[in-house]
Amino acid sequence: MDTTQLLKGVLDLAVLAVLKDEDGYGYDIMRRLRSYGLEEIGDASVYGTLRRLFQAGLLTTYVVPSESGPHRKYYALNAAGRDQLARSGKVWRAFAGTMDSLLDDKGMAA
């Protein structure tokens, strides 16, 4: 199965989840996603997702000066983003449960 297609469908949820407890800048968010096992995520996909979530009103941004390079643009969940994370998380859990049941019923349990 091509996991890149799966990632396209859940990248918004993954980014919102990674920002749930701690704000982050683009590279940091990408590093965190990869540390959770999403190694195949491309830079452009993450940055595009951050822009899209910001434009949708789910994230706020702020700039932090850096002494060792360019300023960093941090992203943070706002109230709308937290609501979306909760809604999307419920949908994902229901979907994943359905898929687990289907695979278990067909003798395909891991």
**Chain segment 31-83, per-residue pLDDT in tens:** 999 999 998 888 999 999 999 999 999 999 999 998 888 899 999 999 999 99
Length of the chain: 110
Joined together, the tokens standing for residue 4 give 């890149």
Q: In the Cβ-directed half-sphere of 62, how many Cα atoms lie within 13 Å?
A: 6
Residue range 11-29, pLDDT digits in tens: 999 999 999 999 999 999 9
- Kindly report the pTM of this predicted structure: 0.87
Q: Which DSSP letter does residue 69 get?
A: S
